[in-house]
Amino acid sequence: MFQQDALTQGLDVYRVGGAVRDKLLGWPVVDHDWVVVGTTPEAMRQRGFKPVGRDFPVFLHPHTAEEYALARTERKSGHGYSGFEVYASPDVTLEEDLSRRDLTINAIAQGPGGQLTDPFHGQQDIEQRLLRHVSPAFSEDPLRVLRTARFLARYAHLGFTIAPDTHTLMSEVSQSGELGHLAAERVWIETEKALGEPNPEQYFTTLNECQALATWWPELVEGETLTAALAEIPSAPEESALPLAHWRYALLVSLLSDEQRDALASRLRLPNAVAQLARHTALTKALLNTPLNDERVLHWLERLDGWRKPAQVAAQLALVSCLAPERQAVLHAAWQAAQAVSPQTLLSEGYRGAALGEALRQHRQKAVAVALGEGESR
């Protein structure tokens, strides 16, 4: 049940989508989305709702900032997830609006009194732990392949599987070439969400099974690369200032070559911070795969740009505590020793220009060497 306020009184309003699904699952409800049936954009604006939809009529509640969309239908008119003609009118019914949704578990609406409208048996699929498409129109939107894989990453631990006929449709979409028309930014958004779910490996294995992985992640489908890459994900630091999803991505691609990693970052148009974390993570893993010495550790600190951005070193030390906890203390000591070298002291000794830079590096390397020696003797 939900209470209608002064702005929604008199409107035929329904809670829809994830809020209804997750309530039925006992999963935390984060966002509330609403559908309004039988009204017009003008009437919504007159009530004080703020229009935000560019391609279809969606409005923000001025007090709660929650989205209220007018009931609509969609017809495929082009490529990708945005290639649709939208029809929004007071004569569009709730059932027609629900029929355009991807999965049955997302096609349930709740009225103000708590009554559920479930024309596609989403509640039954929740009970049977099935991710099933609403209609053959599922194949018209290639983004749904990624979304379905993401939902499996979220709910696999609850026993969910993808219905065989839905899996078949996902494979057909993958083979059609439609996935290649998706915007890179949208692919990353889905992937980032999946990487934050309880079982992110399900996202990638599902996409690989339906031949979707090769479109956007060809580097991961070579030989046993995917299996090895997925095995890296559990090592992600969970207590970090950085998002868990970004750590998991960085570890996922850490086995790739620098060229492969950069190509993937470019293809997905990754945010700079994510691409950089992936590079730094690969550097740290390379360091841990060799015997520590002063030159290697100093080079690592320099590549992390530690003198200007010490938080980047702190982040990698958190990773070291997960990957090689026996080395975390000595590397932390080496970092502190290098930080303690004062450029001002060298300036007071008369060093300037290139000579200052060279002396600073030499002193830092000596400090690191001492710290490593002390660490090995403890």
Helix (H) or strand (E) holding 74: strand 72-76
pLDDT digits (tens, 9 = 90+) for 48-72: 999 997 767 899 999 999 999 999 9
At residue 345 the predicted structure's pLDDT band, cuts being 50, 70 and 90, is: confident
Report the percentage of the chain scoring pLDDT > 70: 95
| Distant-in-sequence, close-in-space partners of 140: CB < 8 Å, separation ≥ 6 | 76, 84
Sign of the CA dihedral with 238 first, then 214, 185, and 278 last: positive
Over residues 253-276, the mean pLDDT reads 97
Asked if 114 contacts 79 with a C-beta cutoff of 8 angstroms, the reply is: no
Task: Annotate 77-94 with DSSP letters as a single string.
Answer: -SSSTT-EEEEE-TT--H
Q: Can you tell me which residue has the tokens 């060093």?
A: 351
C-alpha to C-alpha distance for 312 and 306, rounded to whole angstroms? 6
The pLDDT score that the predictor gives to residue 374 is 58
At residue 351 the predicted structure's pLDDT band, cuts being 50, 70 and 90, is: confident
Asked if 179 contacts 141 with a C-beta cutoff of 8 angstroms, the reply is: no
Asked if 167 contacts 209 with a C-beta cutoff of 8 angstroms, the reply is: yes
pLDDT digits (tens, 9 = 90+) for 134-178: 999 999 999 999 999 999 999 999 999 999 999 999 999 999 999
Helix (H) or strand (E) holding 75: strand 72-76
What does each C-alpha distance from 211 to 81, 192, 194 come to in angstroms? 18, 20, 18
pLDDT digits (tens, 9 = 90+) for 110-126: 999 999 999 999 999 99
The pLDDT score that the predictor gives to residue 350 is 84
Of 46, 37, 137, the C-alpha closest to 94 is 37
Q: In the chain, where are the structural domains located?
A: 1-128, 129-264
- Note the Cα 274 to chain centre separation in Å: 11
| Assigned token pair, 169 | 């449709």
Asked if 328 contacts 317 with a C-beta cutoff of 8 angstroms, the reply is: yes
Average pLDDT of every residue of the chain: 93
Alpha helices per DSSP H over the chain: 18-25, 41-47, 94-99, 122-127, 143-155, 164-176, 184-195, 200-209, 213-216, 225-230, 244-252, 258-268, 272-288, 294-303, 310-323, 325-339, 343-348, 353-377
pTM summary value: 0.90
Over residues 256-260, the mean pLDDT reads 97
Query: What SS3 class is residue 104?
Result: helix
Query: What SS3 class is residue 177?
Result: coil
At residue 376 the predicted structure's pLDDT band, cuts being 50, 70 and 90, is: very low
CATH value of 129-264 in 1.10.3090.10, 3.30.160.40, 1.10.287.3510, 3.20.20.140: 1.10.3090.10
pLDDT digits (tens, 9 = 90+) for 70-100: 999 977 655 544 555 788 899 999 999 999 9
CATH number of 1-128: 3.30.460.10
Half-sphere exposure of 355 (CA within 13 A, CB side): 6
Asked if the model's pLDDT at residue 344 lies above 90, the reply is: no
The pLDDT score that the predictor gives to residue 377 is 39
Q: Report the DSSP pairing between strands 33-37 and 109-110.
A: unpaired
The pLDDT score that the predictor gives to residue 79 is 55
Angle at 186 between CA 184 and CA 188, to 5 degrees: 70
Asked if the model's pLDDT at residue 279 lies above 80, the reply is: yes
At residue 31 the predicted structure's pLDDT band, cuts being 50, 70 and 90, is: confident
SS3 per residue for 5-70: CCCCCCCEEEEECHHHHHHHHCCCCCCCEEEEECCCHHHHHHHCCEECCCCCCEEECCCCCCEEEE
